[in-house]
Chains A and B, each alone.
Chain A
């Protein structure tokens, strides 16, 4: 079964520190991978999307990497802020026109002052 596994399940860091979230997937054939940020009580919002040919993509203080050979992605957050406290969800889509992406269970990040 196609799966998306995220680690760690939860993470607590101090404001200003960096952190890295991991996503491993077995979804095949691979089309693209997207990271979503979900604030408490809100719906997920897309942060970045990466296709097979892309290794790194940045969105402000968020940098996503993709290694399609090892089927791993990471989301690096630089100089964390209190507003980064949220759940981060990795989502992988297959090729072939499938409407249905596969969701990871998310990493819950708490940034303390």
Chain B
């Protein structure tokens, strides 16, 4: 069964802290994504990675960085957390290649609160 696992369901951090959100997939997918989801705004792409050590900025990369040292793991880093980064963070993975679909499989999400 397909599985994308995010390390924490709920996280509370203080302003200025460095925050790590971890995501692991067991499907040998090339692509991995980090989104944030806010009420009324839908899912917005922060960063994605199409291969190990490769990363591309999404729509809202400011204040975030990512790391992909192994194919199965994609980490989102908040270098200095701010209150406006309070949100639901969703990780996803997908295959690359022709054909329709390239379905994205999502993790359960991490609800981050920055106080």
Residues of A within 8 A of B (CB): 9, 31-32, 34, 41-46, 49, 51, 89, 91, 93, 97, 99-101, 103-106
Contact = CB atoms under 8 A, between A and B. Distances in A.
Interface string B98-114: 10111110111101000
A105 B31 contact: no
B103 A49 contact: yes
A89 B100 contact: no
B100 A41 contact: no
Interface string B73-92: 00000000000000000101
A89 B43 contact: yes
Interface of B: 4, 31, 40-43, 45, 48, 50, 58, 90, 92, 94, 96, 98, 100-104, 106-109, 111
A32 B48 contact: no
Contacts of A45: 106
- What 4 A-B pairs have minimum CB-CB distances, sorted nearest first? A43-B106, A105-B42, A32-B100, A103-B43
A99 B94 contact: yes
Given A32-B101, A41-B109, A45-B106, A103 B42 contact: yes
Nearest to B59: A100
Given A43-B109, A97-B96, 14 more contacts: A32-B101, A41-B108, A41-B111, A42-B109, A43-B90, A43-B108, A44-B43, A44-B104, A44-B106, A49-B100, A89-B42, A99-B48, A104-B42, A105-B40
Given A43-B4, A104-B42, A99 B50 contact: yes
Contacts of B90: 43-44
B45 A100 contact: yes
28 contacts: A9-B40, A31-B100, A32-B101, A41-B111, A43-B106, A43-B107, A43-B109, A44-B43, A44-B90, A44-B104, A45-B106, A46-B103, A46-B104, A89-B42, A89-B43, A97-B98, A99-B31, A99-B48, A99-B50, A99-B96, A99-B102, A100-B45, A100-B48, A100-B58, A103-B42, A103-B43, A105-B40, A105-B41
